[in-house]
Amino acid sequence: MRLLTKLKNGLGLSRSRLLLWARYSTSSVVATVVSQIAFALCYWFGTAALVATLVAWLAGAVPNYVMNRRWAWGRGGQLLPYAIIVLGSAASAALVTTVTDHLVRGIESHAWKTVLVTGSYFGTYGVLFILKFVLFDRFVFARSATADPVEARTPVTTS
């Protein structure tokens, strides 16, 4: 609890924003585990990196959307911006894994190839983690100006 208090005070974040971040992170971890397993299995059994990426993306996107919608933000979101964001993420991952797959072709060990290409898939989503949070928060699950009447009525003081 002290850590949350320090973060709240040090970064100026409210308890609800920290809880949202924690729930988003948890949703992302679940989706990452599901998609990493799907990617590693597909790639290990000889599926092309591009196809493995698409299968893994689909395996992770469904639980990620459901968990973000129902648990993290607690409301429905705009489906079109969500689709654009996650399809952009998938395209980025497909590009990175395809390039990595091409770069590791000279390695004889299939296990090492799998580790390296799977690592590139994981790394892509690691880089996109914060960007996706901001985009989801601002465009997908954003509250309308009239959604929270208490906040709309709260006066802001200036000094």
pLDDT, tens digit (0-9, with 9 covering 90-100), for 112-129: 999 999 999 999 989 999
The answer as to whether 158 is a domain residue is no
The answer as to whether 87 is a domain residue is yes
Write the CA distances from 97 to 9, 28, 40, 104, integer angstroms: 40, 19, 12, 10
For the cut 70, the answer to whether the pLDDT of residue 84 exceeds it is yes
Q: What is the mean pLDDT of residues 76-96?
A: 90
Q: What is the pLDDT of residue 72?
A: 82
Percent of the chain with pLDDT over 70: 82
Residue range of the domain that includes 35: 2-143
Q: What is the mean pLDDT of residues 31-53?
A: 95
The answer as to whether 45 is a domain residue is yes
- For the question of whether the overall pTM of this predicted structure is more than 0.75, the answer is no
The answer as to whether 159 is a domain residue is no
The answer as to whether 71 is a domain residue is yes
> What is the number of structural domains in the chain?
1
Q: What is the mean pLDDT of residues 6-33?
A: 81
Q: Which two tokens stand for residue 102?
A: 């091409």
Judged on CB neighbours under 10 Å (0-12, 13-18, 19+), 85 is middle
The answer as to whether 79 is a domain residue is yes
41: confidence class by pLDDT, cuts 50, 70, 90: very high
For the cut 80, the answer to whether the pLDDT of residue 26 exceeds it is yes
The answer as to whether 44 is a domain residue is yes
